[in-house]
Amino acid sequence: MDTFSELPVRDGVGPWHLNYFRVFISVAHNRVLPNGTGLMGMMHDLLKNGGASVVPEAKTWKTRSTLAFTGVAKIKPFSRVGFDDFASFTLPPLHIDSVGLPIPAVAHSFTAQTLKRNYESPEDRAIRKIARIYLTNDGKKLREARNRINRRDPSRSNDIIDDIVRWVENRAVDAAEDARKLEAQLIDKLCDYAVFVNQHHFLAGRRSFWIGRISDFKPSQADLRSAHVKPPLADLWVFETAAVERFSRWDFLGTTEAVMGGNTKMIEPIWIAMCENVASKFGASNGSIEVKHDTVWSESSVLQSPVYHAIKDRHAALLPNR
């Protein structure tokens, strides 16, 4: 099995989220513009103060480097298991969101694809231990949950949980010793599930990062007015990050939408801070940071979205052809 698996936006769940964050930057006349590879190499420094951090990973995907994001999502892995006693259990801040480059970086940009890890990281092993301690200490609740398993909410059904449910239902637990063995095996399976969830990036899709001179961007007068950009425009750069994404699993959609205020509230501080950091690294921001969101329910609606039309020429890799 490959080290990572791609999480295409078309395989995600829930609505489609489109967004872009844009800043105009006044720079010195002789400032050298970084290319896409150079911009990617600066991510550790540029992604600060927004509640998230990023570091290069030692492992590769498609022979290209990968990045590990931390501090973005909080996860409740058992929220959809059907065991209400464990629904509130939140994983500690050991979740890593891995991304890789689906295509090589180009002159002005690079694109990051969300990934699932297919190996158990040190963080995953820690999650397994923590989940085991939690489940073992609540053995009584586990037995009660097992006894109520036939009354679970069908809307919470999904692939791995269905397998666990069928596995429990197909085993007789007449003797106390059999019940204890079943309980231990069930804990093992639930720990496996917690790790499986943790290995997923919480989003499915791609985010692109673009930087260029104003002559490359070719803004309209409406763009300049909207961002309150002031002349002179000769030594002006533009940085923009844009995404088309969905949640990768129902587990994430349920917990992030309900508990953390939704995807929009989660990501805004991260990318606004990045725009501020890019501006201060290369010069000074000119005007205000422009933020646009759209939420639609189908791929055809994505293609009609004004947000998509505003970014598609610079970020064509966000929605790859089938």
Please calculate the CA angle 81-83-85 and round it to the nearest 5 degrees: 135
* Mean pLDDT of the region 3-13: 95
Q: Which of 56-70, 92-106, 152-166 has the least mean pLDDT? A: 152-166
Question: What integer pLDDT is reported at residue 262 of this predicted model?
Answer: 55
Per-residue pLDDT, 204: 95
CA-to-CA separations, 297 to 15, 17, 155, in angstroms, rounded: 5, 9, 19
The pLDDT of residue 276 is above 50: yes
Tell how strand 203-213 and strand 109-117 pair up: antiparallel
Q: Which among 279, 293, 291 has a CA at the least distance from the CA of 237?
A: 279
Instruction: With cut-offs at 50, 70 and 90, classify the pLDDT of residue 150.
Output: very low
User: Over the range 183-204, which residues count as b (16 or more CB within 10 Å of their CB) and which as e?
Assistant: beebbeebbebbbbbbbbbbbb
More confident residue, 270 or 149: 270
User: What pLDDT was estimated at residue 84?
Assistant: 59
Mean pLDDT computed over every residue of the chain: 83
Residue 34's pLDDT band (cuts 50, 70, 90): very high
Q: Which of 35-44, 140-149, 203-212, 238-247 has the lowest mean pLDDT?
A: 140-149
For 188-237, how does the pLDDT look when each residue is reduced to its tens digit (9 = 90+)? Answer: 888 898 899 889 998 999 999 999 999 999 998 999 999 999 998 889 99
pTM for the predicted model, two decimal places: 0.85
Nearest to 314 by CA among 210, 223, 207, 226: 210
Three-state SS at 162: helix
CA distance 300 to 309: 13
Q: Nearest Cα to 204, choosing from 290, 299, 109?
A: 299
Q: Which pLDDT value is given to residue 294?
A: 95
| Rounded Cα distance, 47 and 275, in Å | 9
DSSP string, 205-247: EEEEEEEEEHHHH---HHHHHHTT--S--TTEEEEEEEEEEEE
Cα separation, 293 vs 312, in Å, equals 14
Q: Which domains does the chain have, with CATH numbers?
A: 4-119+201-318 (3.30.530.20), 125-197 (no CATH)
pLDDT score for 98? 94
Most trustworthy range by pLDDT among 56-60, 98-102, 268-272: 98-102
Radius of gyration of the chain (CA): 23
What is residue 260's predicted lDDT score, i.e. its pLDDT? 47
* Percent of the chain whose pLDDT exceeds 90: 50
* pLDDT value, residue 306: 96
**How much is the average pLDDT of 225-251?**
92
